[in-house]
Amino acid sequence: MLPGDLCHHPEGWGPVSRLRSFDLTPCFEDAVLFSVPLGLLIAVSLLRLWHLSRLSALHRTQRINTWLLWAKLVVLGLILSISLVNIGIAIARPQCVYYFPSLVLEAVAFLVLPLLTYLSHTRTRQSSTVALLFWLAYFPALLIWSRTVLLDVTRERILAVLEPRWGIGGLGIVAFALECLGPEFRAEPDDKPRLNPESPLLTANVFSVWTFGWLTPLMKKGVKQFITEDDLPELLSEEETAKVGQKLQRAMKKHKSLWTAFFASYGGPFALAACLKLLQDSLSFLQPQFLRLFLSFISSYQSARLSGISEHLAPSAVEGLSIATLMFSTAIVQSIILHQYFQRCFETGMRVRAGLVAVIYQKALVLSNDERGKASGDIVNLMSVDASRLQDLCTYGLMIISAPFQVTLAFVSLYNLLGWSAFVGVGIMIFSVPLNTMIANFLKNLQVKQMKSKDKRSRLMSELLANIKSIKLYAWEHAFLRRVLLVRNEEELKMLRKIGIYSAMNTALWGGIPLLVAFSSFATAAAISSKPLTSDIIFPAISLFMLLQFPLAMTAMLTNQAIEGLVSAKRLKAFLDGDELQLDARDVRLNPNLVAGDMVLEIKDGEFNWSKEAPTPTIEGINLVVRKGELTGIVGRVGAGKSSLLSAIIGDMRRIEGKVTLYGTVAYAPQNPWLMGASIRDNILFSHEYDEAFYNLVLDACALRPDLELFPNGDLTEVGEKGITLSGGQRARVSLARAVYARADLVLLDDVLSAVDSQVARQVFDQVIGPRGLLATKARIVVTHSVSFLPKFDQLVYVRRGIIIESGTYANLAGEKGSHFYKLIHGHGHGHTSGSASSGSATPFWNDEGSTPSASSSHGEEGTLTEEKIDTLGEKLTRKKSFGRAVVAPVTSQTTKASSGGLSEEQSAKGRVKANVYWRYIEAASKTGFAFFVIVTILQQAMQIFGTFALKHWSEGNRESGENRSAMKYLWAYGVLSLSATILNSAGSILILVLCSLRSSKHLHDAMLHSVIRAPLTFFELTPTGRILNLFTKDTNVVDQALARVIQFVFRTLASSVGIIVVIGSSFPPFLIAIIPLGWMYSRFMTYYLATSRELQRLNAVSRSPIISWFSESLSGLSTIRAFNHQATFTEINEHRVDRNQMCYLPSTSVNRWLAVRLEFIGASIIYISSMLAVGALITSGVDAGLVGLVISYALNTTSSLNWLVRSASEVEQNIVSVERMLQYIELKPEAPYEVPETHPEGAWPTDGLVEFRNYSLRYRPELDLVLKNISLTLYPGEKIGICGRTGAGKSSLLLALFRILEPAEGTILIDGVDITKIGLHDLRSAMTIVPQSPDLFEGTVRENIDPVGEYQDADIWEALKQSHLKEYVESLPEGLDAPVRESGSSLSAGQRQLICFARALLRKTKILVLDEATSAVDLETDKAIQEIIRGPQFKHTTILTIAHRLNTIMDSDRILVLAAGKVAELDTPNNLLAKPNSAFRSLAMEAGLT
Q: Is the peptide bond before 1335 cis (omega within 30 degrees of 0)?
A: no
Q: Identify the pLDDT of residue 866.
A: 40
Q: Identify the pLDDT of residue 967.
A: 65
Q: Identify the pLDDT of residue 1445.
A: 58
Instruction: Please say if the pLDDT value at position 895 is more than 60.
Output: no
DSSP 8-state symbol, 666: E
Q: Give residue 191's pLDDT band: very low, low, confident or very high (50, 70, 90).
A: low
Non-local (6+) Cβ contacts of 151 within 8 A are 20, 23
Q: Identify the pLDDT of residue 829.
A: 44
Q: Answer whether 1217's CB lies under 8 Å from 913's CB.
A: yes
Q: Give residue 855's pLDDT band: very low, low, confident or very high (50, 70, 90).
A: very low
pTM over 0.75: no
List Cα–Cα distances, 503 to 396, 526, 554, 617, in angstroms. 18, 35, 13, 52
Query: Which SS3 state, helix, strand or coil, does residue 619 take?
Result: strand
Q: Identify the pLDDT of residue 874.
A: 44
The mean-pLDDT minimum among 33-37, 979-983, 1136-1140, 1431-1435 falls in 1431-1435
Q: Cα torsion at 657, 660, 661, 662 (round to 10°)?
A: -160
Instruction: Please say if the pLDDT value at position 1033 is more than 80.
Output: yes
DSSP string over 507-555: HHHHHHHHHHHHHHHHHHHHHH--S---HHHHHHHHHHHHHHHHHHHHH
Q: Identify the pLDDT of residue 857.
A: 31
Residues constituting the chain: 1491
In whole angstroms, give the CA distance from residue 831 to residue 786. Answer: 9
Q: Identify the pLDDT of residue 747.
A: 92
Overall average pLDDT of the 797-826 stretch: 82
Which has the closest alpha carbon to 1387: 1317, 1318, 1340? 1340
In whole angstroms, give the CA distance from residue 1141 to residue 333. Answer: 32
Instruction: Please say if the pLDDT value at position 716 is more than 70.
Output: yes
Q: Identify the pLDDT of residue 964.
A: 63
Instruction: Please say if the pLDDT value at position 836 is more than 60.
Output: no
Q: Identify the pLDDT of residue 922.
A: 86
In whole angstroms, give the CA distance from residue 186 to residue 61. Answer: 10
Query: Which SS3 state, helix, strand or coil, does residue 658 take?
Result: strand
pLDDT digits (tens, 9 = 90+) for 413-429: 888 888 888 778 777 87
Q: Identify the pLDDT of residue 173.
A: 92
- Check residues 1314 and 1189 and name the one with the higher pLDDT: 1314
In whole angstroms, give the CA distance from residue 1203 to residue 1208. Answer: 8
Range 1264-1269, long-range pairs (CB < 8 A, 24+ positions): 1264/846, 1264/849, 1264/850, 1264/851, 1264/852, 1265/849, 1265/850, 1265/851, 1265/852, 1266/851, 1266/1305, 1266/1462, 1267/852, 1267/1293, 1267/1462, 1268/1293, 1268/1294, 1268/1297, 1268/1462, 1268/1463, 1269/1461, 1269/1462, 1269/1463
Which has the closest alpha carbon to 982: 519, 659, 508, 1435? 508
- Taking each helix axis as running N to C, give the angle between helix 317-365 and helix 286-307, from 0 to 180 degrees, rounded to the nearest 10: 170
In whole angstroms, give the CA distance from residue 672 to residue 1417. Answer: 9
Instruction: Please say if the pLDDT value at position 369 is more than 90.
Output: no
Overall average pLDDT of the 772-797 stretch: 86
Overall average pLDDT of the 20-26 stretch: 78
The mean-pLDDT minimum among 246-255, 895-904, 1225-1234, 1348-1357 falls in 895-904
Q: Answer whether 1191's CB lies under 8 Å from 1170's CB.
A: yes
Instruction: Please say if the pLDDT value at position 145 is more than 90.
Output: no
In whole angstroms, give the CA distance from residue 118 to residue 203. Answer: 16
Q: Identify the pLDDT of residue 597.
A: 84
Q: Answer whether 397's CB lies under 8 Å from 614's CB.
A: no
Non-local (6+) Cβ contacts of 430 within 8 A are none
Instruction: Please say if the pLDDT value at position 341 is more than 90.
Output: yes
In whole angstroms, give the CA distance from residue 546 to residue 1056. Answer: 13
Backbone phi and psi for residue 629, each to the nearest 5 degrees, phi listed first = 85, 5
Instruction: Please say if the pLDDT value at position 772 is more than 80.
Output: yes
Q: Identify the pLDDT of residue 159.
A: 66
Q: Identify the pLDDT of residue 881.
A: 45
How crowded is residue 1078: how many other Cβ atoms within 10 Å of its Cβ? 19
- Average pLDDT of the chain is 81
Cross-strand partners of 1456:
1282, 1468
Q: Identify the pLDDT of residue 111.
A: 92
Query: H helices of 678-797, where?
Result: 680-685, 692-701, 705-710, 728-741, 758-764
Q: Apex CA 1467: angle with CA 1462 and CA 1470, to 5°?
A: 130
Q: Give residue 963's pLDDT band: very low, low, confident or very high (50, 70, 90).
A: low
In percent, the amount of the chain with pLDDT more than 70 equals: 89
Backbone phi and psi for residue 1258, each to the nearest 5 degrees, phi listed first = -145, 140
Cross-strand partners of 1306:
1257
Q: Answer whether 23's CB lies under 8 Å from 151's CB.
A: yes
List Cα–Cα distances, 771 to 463, 743, 764, 780, 1185, in angstroms. 42, 16, 12, 11, 102
The sign of the torsion formed by the CA atoms of 1465, 1468, 1469, 1475 equals negative
Task: State the greatest distance between any 2 C-alpha atoms of the chain, in Å, as a whole number.
Answer: 131
Q: Give residue 1009's pLDDT band: very low, low, confident or very high (50, 70, 90).
A: very high
Task: Tell me whether strands 654-662 and 631-636 are parallel, antiparallel or unpaired.
Answer: unpaired
Q: Identify the pLDDT of residue 210.
A: 92
Q: Answer whether 1267's CB lies under 8 Å from 1259's CB.
A: yes
- Check residues 55 and 889 and name the one with the higher pLDDT: 55
The mean-pLDDT minimum among 848-857, 1087-1096, 1318-1327, 1349-1358 falls in 848-857
Q: Apex CA 1029: angle with CA 1026 and CA 1031, to 5°?
A: 115
Q: Give residue 1008's pLDDT band: very low, low, confident or very high (50, 70, 90).
A: very high
In whole angstroms, give the CA distance from residue 441 to residue 436. Answer: 9
- Taking each helix axis as running N to C, give the angle between helix 1127-1180 and helix 216-224, from 0 to 180 degrees, rounded to the nearest 10: 90
Instruction: Please say if the pLDDT value at position 262 is more than 60.
Output: yes
Overall average pLDDT of the 984-995 stretch: 85
In percent, the amount of the chain with pLDDT more than 90 equals: 8
Overall average pLDDT of the 1443-1469 stretch: 82
Query: Which SS3 state, helix, strand or coil, does residue 1190 take?
Result: helix
Q: Identify the pLDDT of residue 310.
A: 59
The mean-pLDDT minimum among 96-100, 588-592, 873-877 falls in 873-877
Q: Is the peptide bond before 15 cis (omega within 30 degrees of 0)?
A: yes
pLDDT digits (tens, 9 = 90+) for 211-232: 999 999 999 888 888 888 888 8
475 backbone φψ class: left, alpha, beta (φ>0; ψ -120 to 50):
left
Query: Which SS3 state, helix, strand or coil, does residue 1049 take?
Result: helix
Cross-strand partners of 795:
632
In whole angstroms, give the CA distance from residue 1177 to residue 1172. Answer: 8
934 backbone φψ class: left, alpha, beta (φ>0; ψ -120 to 50):
alpha
Radius of gyration for the chain, computed over Cα atoms and rounded to the nearest angstrom: 40
Instruction: Please say if the pLDDT value at position 1063 is more than 70.
Output: yes
Q: Identify the pLDDT of residue 869.
A: 42
Q: In what order do the strands lie in the sheet with 1306-1311?
A: 1268-1275, 1251-1258, 1306-1311, 1314-1315
Non-local (6+) Cβ contacts of 47 within 8 A are none
Q: Which helix (H) or strand (E) holds 1459?
A: strand 1455-1460
Q: Identify the pLDDT of residue 910.
A: 58
228 backbone φψ class: left, alpha, beta (φ>0; ψ -120 to 50):
beta
3-state secondary structure 20-61: CCCCECHHHHHHHHHHHHHHHHHHHHHHHHHHHHCCCCCCCC
pLDDT digits (tens, 9 = 90+) for 425-450: 777 877 776 777 777 778 878 888 88
Instruction: Please say if the pLDDT value at position 337 is more than 90.
Output: yes
Q: Identify the pLDDT of residue 833.
A: 36
Instruction: Please say if the pLDDT value at position 1257 is more than 80.
Output: yes
Query: Which SS3 state, helix, strand or coil, does residue 97 take?
Result: coil
Q: Answer whether 539's CB lies under 8 Å from 1190's CB.
A: yes
pLDDT digits (tens, 9 = 90+) for 735-750: 999 999 988 899 999 8
State the amino acid at position 965 in one-letter form.
Answer: R
Through-space distance between the first and last CA atoms of the chain, rounded to whole angstroms: 116
Q: Identify the pLDDT of residue 43.
A: 92
Q: Answer whether 128's CB lies under 8 Å from 62's CB.
A: no
Overall average pLDDT of the 1375-1399 stretch: 78
Instruction: Please say if the pLDDT value at position 58 is more than 60.
Output: yes
Q: In what order do the strands lie in the sheet with 1439-1443?
A: 1328-1331, 1408-1412, 1439-1443, 1280-1284, 1455-1460, 1463-1468
Q: Answer whether 270's CB lies under 8 Å from 263's CB.
A: yes
The mean-pLDDT minimum among 209-223, 454-468, 553-567 falls in 553-567
- Check residues 847 and 700 and name the one with the higher pLDDT: 700
Q: Identify the pLDDT of residue 667.
A: 92
- Check residues 757 and 1114 and name the one with the higher pLDDT: 1114
Query: H helices of 1304-1378, where?
Result: 1321-1326, 1342-1346, 1354-1363, 1367-1372
Q: Give residue 1480's pLDDT band: very low, low, confident or very high (50, 70, 90).
A: confident
In whole angstroms, give the CA distance from residue 850 to residue 788. Answer: 38
Instruction: Please say if the pLDDT value at position 472 is more than 50.
Output: yes
